[in-house]
Structure 1
Amino acid sequence: MTKARFAKRFYVSLFATLLAGTASAADTVVFQLDWLPGGDKAPIYVCIDKGFCAEEGIEIKVEPGRGSTEAITRLAAGTSDVGSADIGALMAAQVTERVAVTGIMSIFNKGPHAFFALKDSGISKIEDVKGKKVATSPFTSSNVFLPLVLADKGLAESDITLTKADPGALGPMLMTGATDVIIAWMTNVSIFNGQAAQAGKELEIMPWYAAGLDLYSASLLASDKFITERPDVAKRFVKAFKKSLEYVKTNPDESAVSVNKIVPELPVDVVKGAIKDTMVLEFNEVTDKDGLGVFETARLAETWKRVAASQKLDPSALDPEKSVNRSFLAE
């Protein structure tokens, strides 16, 4: 081989390598959690472990979070590209802070909020909490919607005795009779059922969505910078994430193992329980009617109506249609 031909091949090879490196860097996506890793976050770990993200040419870096507000702040700052957080929190932040973040896919098409009581307490419906002691976590978003849920049943906060406690104390408080009712999420049903079983008791669970609180909750939110500068990557990511979500539904055991592989401190059985609990918020009659991941116009408008009422915001301050971009969700 002549020096000229060798040099030509060398520079062609070098150019291809540089191009590949550039493409790889461009397709790195920083995924922002709205809380710590757990079974309810299984789709992103399945996307990594089962190669669904890799199939779309995407490498994922997962960042933990401490609530939807923090997740949205990081997305708005551009330090994360896409993540999971409450669409209601996004709507409020768009009004109060004008954040440059957009919803691109629904994950929970129902709110996770619920009342938990013991079966032998005589409390079986939301109206029954009148005159009862109710315990909640100080920072849960459920507290924002509590007055609305009570009002829907003709009650006010003054009709209950509300106390705030550490999230880890809620289950023991319920089992020991320190409180009549706790406010918690449907994503933790397995945990509370386990605590009840150890105490020889059974739970009565009253999800707020069954009482008329119809709204979207956890969603895929993306930095406007990300979807503007890398729309193709965003679309491929949504495709991979949706595939992962469907895989988790049909393969909960394998999905729990995938989470454990990446986050070994999470026991497989705990993850599996959370996956089971979460499914009711992702796959239900709303999904059957509208499709997986879809932001349906009327439900989106109702979500904003409830968020505005709960946070005393002007309903006319936001067009909820401008909070989402449906173009990244493949048909």
Structure 2
Amino acid sequence: MTAGCLRLKARLLPALRATALMAAALLLFCGLASHGIAQERPPAKVVFSLDFIPLGRHAPWYAALAEGYFRDEGLDVSIIPSQGTAQAIQAVESGTANLAFVDVPSVVLAHANGSKLKMIAVNYQKAPYAIFSLSNGANVTEPKQLEGLNLGSGAGSFTPKVIEGFMAQKGLDPSKLRITNVAPPARATALLSGQVPAIEFFVMAKPGLEGGAKDVHAELRTLLLSDHGLDLYSNGLAASEDYLARNGDVVKGFVRAGLKGWKFALANPKKAADDQIKYVASLKADIILAELKIVGDLAVTKEVKQNGLGWFDPIAMKTAVDFVTKYVGVTGTPPAAADIYALGYLPEPAIIP
């Protein structure tokens, strides 16, 4: 190295060292500042409405809360009850809730009346509509027995129309199904006392009804329509178009955490029951376990094992819209299938049960 090069190096070296130190200090400051901002950022508050009062079927959502899955996504989640899907939809529409656990047919009906809710995940791949009877009574085990049956149901419910639509698809005569108006709280008593030979309820009512049947020295008979060809999505997650547009990352985090809760609860039902009881002390562990087993059957299908929890097929969404429009009936303009769902909110990679 020449003498001139040595003199030039001597002059430049202090400046280079100072520049390097300044750069390092700047990087350290920026890193600490960004870390501080991340630490100070409060969790996003999310209000989630159930489709009813908290029951054993809802244990996966409470497991997600108790196991810290929502917290890990930076979410502060509150779970609120409702008195049915209509109220849950109203809660989202009014802003009382940000997301809700609602059924696809109800969302179709709401859309016909101007709702902007979108399904973003489907948890119940199979619809839970069931016909209950006693072994020493109507003893309903096959769809053909619905013709001529006197069924205890609700006058204001669209479930009888779902059953009649199912009958029509099976080549049966829906006009031969007779509906007796029995309020939901009175249906179990009406069946067990012989006031009506059969009632309709969600299949999650099976554990309680089985105990009642034993008390009257009979066996409960359960006809789950989805086990006999009813192809209809039921409950899943929904949010408004506006909330999705403004809070996409929050929604993705909620869905990912919620579905982790589902995977955990189905794999660890006893721990999930304990988790739920922390928040809903009035529930009994044995009832939670029985309902979890039932919703596991509704949620985990061959397609879900391949595509993950919450997955849904747009073609099946169209089938749901067509079924509701044809058999249940809508007031207003029937929605297009693409209007009732939004893609892109399910986790990647998928959460396989």
TM-score (norm 1): 0.88
Segments of 5+ residues of structure 2 without an aligned counterpart are 1-31, 349-353
3-state SS, counterpart of residue 78 of structure 2 = strand
From 102, 113, 119, the equivalent of 2:118 is 102
3-state SS, counterpart of residue 24 of structure 1 = coil
Q: Distance in 2 between matches of 1:62 and 1:85?
A: 14
From 100, 121, 130, the equivalent of 1:114 is 130
Q: Percent identity?
A: 24
Asked whether the equivalents of residues 132 and 140 of structure 2 are also in contact (C-alpha less than 8 Å), the reply is no
3-state SS, counterpart of residue 278 of structure 2 = helix
**Residue in 2 aligned with 1:153?**
170
Q: 1:116 corresponds to which letter in structure 2?
A: F
Q: Distance in 2 between matches of 1:279 and 1:193?
A: 19
1:61-92 deviation digits (Å, cap 9, x = unpaired) = 11211111111122122221111011221122
| Cα 1:314–1:68 shift into 2, 3 Å | closer
From 219, 225, 228, the equivalent of 2:236 is 219
Q: 1:115 corresponds to which letter in structure 2?
A: I
Q: 2:313 corresponds to which letter in structure 1?
A: E
Q: 1:47 corresponds to which letter in structure 2?
A: A
Q: Distance in 1 between matches of 2:73 and 2:34?
A: 23
Is 1:194–2:196 an aligned residue pair?
Answer: no
Is 1:28–2:45 an aligned residue pair?
Answer: yes
Q: 1:312 corresponds to which letter in structure 2?
A: G
| Cα 1:196–1:43 shift into 2, 3 Å | same
Asked whether the equivalents of residues 165 and 174 of structure 2 are also in contact (C-alpha less than 8 Å), the reply is no
Q: 1:127 corresponds to which letter in structure 2?
A: K
**Residue in 2 aligned with 1:126?**
143
Q: Distance in 2 between matches of 1:130 and 1:77?
A: 42
3-state SS, counterpart of residue 216 of structure 1 = coil
1:127-184 deviation digits (Å, cap 9, x = unpaired) = 1132232111344442231221222334444413321212232222222222111111
3-state SS, counterpart of residue 136 of structure 2 = helix
Q: 2:187 corresponds to which letter in structure 1?
A: L
Asked whether the equivalents of residues 108 and 219 of structure 1 are also in contact (C-alpha less than 8 Å), the reply is yes
**Residue in 1 aligned with 2:26?**
none
3-state SS, counterpart of residue 244 of structure 2 = helix
**Residue in 2 aligned with 1:9?**
none
Matches within 5 A, 1:164-175: 164-175=181-192
Aligned-residue offset at 1:317 = 3.6
Asked whether the equivalents of residues 304 and 315 of structure 1 are also in contact (C-alpha less than 8 Å), the reply is no
Q: 2:123 corresponds to which letter in structure 1?
A: I
Asked whether the equivalents of residues 104 and 220 of structure 1 are also in contact (C-alpha less than 8 Å), the reply is yes
3-state SS, counterpart of residue 324 of structure 2 = helix
3-state SS, counterpart of residue 236 of structure 1 = helix
Is 1:323–2:346 an aligned residue pair?
Answer: no
Count of paired positions? 317
Q: Distance in 2 between matches of 1:48 and 1:322?
A: 30
Aligned-residue offset at 1:50 = 1.1
Q: 1:34 corresponds to which letter in structure 2?
A: D
Greater shift after overlay, 243-252 or 70-79? 70-79
Q: Distance in 2 between matches of 1:204 and 1:270?
A: 19
**Residue in 2 aligned with 1:40?**
57
For the pair shown, the structure with the greater C-alpha radius of gyration is 2
| Cα 1:264–1:139 shift into 2, 3 Å | farther
3-state SS, counterpart of residue 83 of structure 2 = coil
3-state SS, counterpart of residue 109 of structure 1 = coil
Q: 1:213 corresponds to which letter in structure 2?
A: L
**Residue in 1 aligned with 2:3?**
none
Aligned-residue offset at 1:217 = 0.6
**Residue in 2 aligned with 1:271?**
288
Q: Distance in 1 between matches of 2:262 and 2:324?
A: 26
Q: Distance in 2 between matches of 1:74 and 1:171?
A: 29
Matches within 5 A, 1:51-70: 51-70=68-87
Q: Distance in 2 between matches of 1:298 and 1:290?
A: 15
| Cα 1:140–1:14 shift into 2, 3 Å | farther
Q: Distance in 2 between matches of 1:171 and 1:133?
A: 15
Aligned-residue offset at 1:201 = 1.4
Q: Distance in 2 between matches of 1:134 and 1:246?
A: 36
Asked whether the equivalents of residues 134 and 162 of structure 1 are also in contact (C-alpha less than 8 Å), the reply is yes
Asked whether the equivalents of residues 136 and 182 of structure 1 are also in contact (C-alpha less than 8 Å), the reply is yes
Greater shift after overlay, 193-202 or 131-140? 131-140
Q: Distance in 2 between matches of 1:308 and 1:283?
A: 27
Asked whether the equivalents of residues 101 and 222 of structure 1 are also in contact (C-alpha less than 8 Å), the reply is yes
Is 1:308–2:317 an aligned residue pair?
Answer: no
Q: Distance in 2 between matches of 1:78 and 1:86?
A: 19
Greater shift after overlay, 126-135 or 77-86? 126-135
Superposed CA RMSD in Å reads 2.5
Aligned-residue offset at 1:213 = 1.6
